[in-house]
Amino acid sequence: QQQVKQSPQSLIVQKGGISIINCAYENTAFDYFPWYQQFPGKGPALLIAIRPDVSEKKEGRFTISFNKSAKQFSLHIMDSQPGDSATYFCAASPNAGGTSYGKLTFGQGTILTVHP
């Protein structure tokens, strides 16, 4: 059962364009939503994260938009650059009791290619 569904699987954008990656979740106990960036041969690195008490969070060219009622969140990369070419993962973790709050579930990933 895939608890976090991510789309598209791959995305090609021209330099300067906007890259948009979407994620949807089912578990209403999720309350922490990070995005990770991974370059080939490296481990994922935290890019930006949001909690459901805000609808948008911006850090530089990266913005998370969050729609709690639709159980969806998205990553927008403004002015996309060739150096942004990487695999992007959304993720979610719950506020449930016990040890579940340590459990981070990832989406399937999106391979972003930014052409110069």
Partner 1 sequence: NAGVTQTPKFQVLKTGQSMTLQCAQDMNHEYMSWYRQDPGMGLRLIHYSVGAGITDQGEVPNGYNVSRSTTEDFPLRLLSAAPSQTSVYFCASSPDRGHGYTFGSGTRLTVV
Told to check if 80 binds partner 1 by CB under 8 A, we report no
Strand, coil or helix: what is 20?
A: strand
Least gap, CB of 44 to partner 1 (angstroms) = 5
Q: Closer to partner 1 by CB, 20 or 48: give it.
A: 48
Least gap, CB of 116 to partner 1 (angstroms) = 26
Told to check if 14 binds partner 1 by CB under 8 A, we report no
Q: Closer to partner 1 by CB, 92 or 114: give it.
A: 92
Told to check if 93 binds partner 1 by CB under 8 A, we report yes
Least gap, CB of 87 to partner 1 (angstroms) = 9
Any long-range contacts for 106-109 (C-beta under 8 Å, 24+ apart)?
106/4, 106/36, 107/4, 107/5, 107/6, 107/23, 108/2, 108/5, 108/6, 108/9, 109/6, 109/9, 109/38
Told to check if 34 binds partner 1 by CB under 8 A, we report yes
DSSP-based helix, strand, coil % in the chain, nearest 5: 5, 55, 40
Judged by the rule CB under 8 A, the positions of this chain that interact with partner 1 are 6, 9, 32, 34, 36, 41-46, 49, 89, 93, 98-109
